[in-house]
Amino acid sequence: MCGIVGYIGTQPAASEILLAGLQKLEYRGYDSAGIATISEGELHCIRAKGKLHNLQEKVASWNRPASLGIGHTRWATHGKPEEYNAHPHRDTSERLAVVQNGIIENYRELREQLRHHGHTFRSDTDTEVIPHLIADGLPRIQAEGLQAHHPSPLLEAVRQAVCQLQGAFAIAVISADFPDELIVARQQAPLVLGFGQGEFFCASDTPALIPYTRAILPLDNGEIARLTPTGVEVFSFEGNRVRKTPRTLNWNPVMVEKQGFKHFMLKEIYEQPGVVRTCLEQYLNGDWQPGMADSPIHLGLPTDFYNNLEQVQIVACGTSWHAGLVGKYLLEQVAGLPTTVNYASEFRYAPTPLRPNTLTIGVTQSGETADTLAALEMEGTRHSEGAPPPRLLGITNRPESSLSRLVPQIIDTHAGIEIGVAATKTFVAQLVAFYLLALDLAYTRQTLTPEQLHTLIEGLRQLPAELELILESQERYVETLAHDFVDTQDFIFLGRGINFPIALEGALKLKEISYIHAEGYPAGEMKHGPIALLDAKVPVVAIAMPGTVFEKVLSNAQEAKARDALLIGVTPMDEQEAAETFDALLPVPHVDELLSPLLTVVPLQLLAYHIAAHRGLDVDQPRNLAKSVTVE
């Protein structure tokens, strides 16, 4: 979950490039930060506790021109977020430095072994064993002359060191004794190389690279690379050369700027109409009418992908898990396919029994979520003897990520990069992907009539304009309403049917960025225990959309009102019965109940955002969280 960045080239501006890269990666962790550079044959390292601006203030008076360096922004795992635990970490002689994203599971054994060899440790982290391990093997490698078989003793020392590490990691290594080399390695944690003109980069994620280059090369698991001012060489952990070709990233630097918004999260909420419009334009057949032989949806999946399909299982984490719950409702109620939704972290250790003709869908906005990738990898290798290989599908907004190299089929949601830690536009984009998948399956399986299918597709086409209407009409009202909850300590969110996952998502958004305790419940379950929590200090947000459960939700809301709870309703505009029930309204356009989650989630995003902003909190970088969870 940490962010690492590295630079080697001809510019004596490594410090500035590293800091700029870390600024683009700070969403991955912001407990501490540090950089290390090499100049005039010496290793120089500077670190700071807290957010990146603390490091920037230190570096401002640090006159160290260099053309080689590494940097790190930390999300603490082993050891408190203190300066002595900040990266980069160095060996005992302070000639070699390492930054790492990941967790070294066998660091205790390695640390004891290295202490017996005379190495001194200064931190509580697992990472610190890596520079000591490399330094421990380097003299032997140089003495034995192993460099004759390898481009560099440093490369060989790093290769031998990573072969002793257990866990998930991506590392970057520099040494004052090898001032023209940057060595990087990847195992189950993301790492991307960038190719410039006479300069090369590495980073945990592409936003750190796009100001300088769009030519990138993602490393795969078990790969190590040597970067010099003249080029890049890639090897396997076994020492074999790997031939790889860079690809061009279709991004521009503007995509990762705030563009006038106060926070990235607010910008990304406002990007949702465009995201939905782009996704629909990408996959919908604009000329389709009932009676046409061709499918109205083109997801780019093989023609036999749905053959004999009997069930679906979804693996995801966090907000993506909530999207999966909406997907379950759609796949079951629209496409007639039994579906389970699993926390990827639990599925890894208690997988469902093997069943034939099962589609496994992994949902991850970053395409790098460690638990989701591990669950998919496990599912891809286990199948009954003689049975066909499992069908795997990924849903992500990062088609260049590890997910796309793990599963054969991807639905790219076309949401683009999301910087705010609390997912907004990527959640809505994941929902759109599930709608399209369910409708495509419904067409193939003939679980909907052509007329029903056409009606739902036309409803989807109206959604971007309806989302724009919500944003134009509600934000100022929600901002004013949020003032009333600055000191609130507890919230309850209620929903039923397809909007129950939206209640969960609304509660999660509020928890993530405002630090207010919030819980989402199925509205009908309130009287089975949670109603005991209610009083005048606990607001209740209920999602009440006309359809199969509308009257039931209003009835459940009345039960909460009878306990003096303040009621906030997400409900259609001009819905008289709802207006009489709720104390405050967050109105959305009238829409088919089946499509309503794409609208009802937006007022909840705005409510969470403005409550957090009024509380003076860091909306984009909430405490203890990181954007991409790349460790278990």
Residue 120 predicted with pLDDT over 70: yes
Alpha-carbon gap, residue 583 to 565, rounded angstroms:
10
Retrieve residue 208's tokens: 């750190």
Of 15, 24, 28, 102, the residue nearest 67 (C-alpha): 15
The pLDDT value recorded for residue 630 is 52
The pLDDT value recorded for residue 576 is 84
Residue 631 predicted with pLDDT over 60: no
CB of 546 closer than 8 Å to CB of 588: no
CATH 3.10.580.10: does it fit domain 3-256? no
The pLDDT value recorded for residue 146 is 53
CA 40 to chain centre: 39
- Residue 215 CB: number of other CB atoms within 10 A? 14
pLDDT digits (tens, 9 = 90+) for 531-556: 777 777 889 999 999 888 888 888 88
Q: Which of 2, 45, 202, 279 is catalytic?
A: 2
When pLDDT is averaged across residues 128-145 and rounded to a whole number, the result is 90
Residue 386 predicted with pLDDT over 70: no
CATH number of 264-614, picked from 3.90.1150.60, 3.40.366.10, 3.40.50.10490, 3.40.640.10: 3.40.50.10490
When pLDDT is averaged across residues 565-592 and rounded to a whole number, the result is 88
pLDDT digits (tens, 9 = 90+) for 67-96: 999 999 987 777 787 888 999 999 999 999
Alpha-carbon gap, residue 617 to 500, rounded angstroms:
28
- Residue 148 CB: number of other CB atoms within 10 A? 6
CB of 433 closer than 8 Å to CB of 413: yes
Residue 629 predicted with pLDDT over 80: no
pLDDT digits (tens, 9 = 90+) for 190-233: 899 999 988 999 999 888 898 899 899 999 999 999 999 999 99
Q: CATH 3.40.50.10490 residue ranges in the chain?
A: 264-614
Instruction: Tell me the average pLDDT of the chain.
Output: 90
> Residue 170 — very low, low, confident or very high, per pLDDT cuts 50/70/90?
very high
Full DSSP string of 406-468 = HSSEEEE-------SSS-SHHHHHHHHHHHHHHHHHHHHHT-S-HHHHHHHHHHHHHHHHHHH
pLDDT digits (tens, 9 = 90+) for 303-340: 899 999 999 999 999 999 999 999 999 999 999 999 99
When pLDDT is averaged across residues 551-580 and rounded to a whole number, the result is 82
User: Which neighbouring-strand residues pair with 287?
Assistant: none
Residue 103 predicted with pLDDT over 70: yes
Which parts of 145-271 fold into alpha helices (H)?
153-162, 264-270
Query: Integer distance in angstroms from the first to the last C-alpha of the chain?
Result: 10
> Residue 149 — very low, low, confident or very high, per pLDDT cuts 50/70/90?
low
CA–CA distances in Å: residue 231 to residues 8, 9, 214: 10, 10, 16
Residue 255 predicted with pLDDT over 80: no
pTM greater than the 0.85 cutoff: no
Torsion angle of the four alpha carbons 375, 377, 383, 385, in this order, in degrees rounded to the nearest 10? -150
The pLDDT value recorded for residue 253 is 59
The pLDDT value recorded for residue 385 is 59
When pLDDT is averaged across residues 240-254 and rounded to a whole number, the result is 81
When pLDDT is averaged across residues 119-138 and rounded to a whole number, the result is 93
CB-based burial, 584-619: b 16+ in 10 Å, e otherwise: ebbbbbebeebbbbbbbbbbbbbbbbbbbbebeeeb
- Residue 552: active-site member: no
Q: Which of 49, 509, 511, 627 is catalytic?
A: 627
The pLDDT value recorded for residue 185 is 97
Greater model confidence, 388 or 62: 62
pLDDT digits (tens, 9 = 90+) for 275-307: 999 999 999 988 888 878 788 999 999 989 999
When pLDDT is averaged across residues 410-422 and rounded to a whole number, the result is 91
Q: CATH 3.60.20.10 residue ranges in the chain?
A: 3-256
- Residue 627: active-site member: yes
Q: Which helix H or strand E contains 62, and what residues bound it? A: none
Retrieve residue 133's tokens: 């391990």
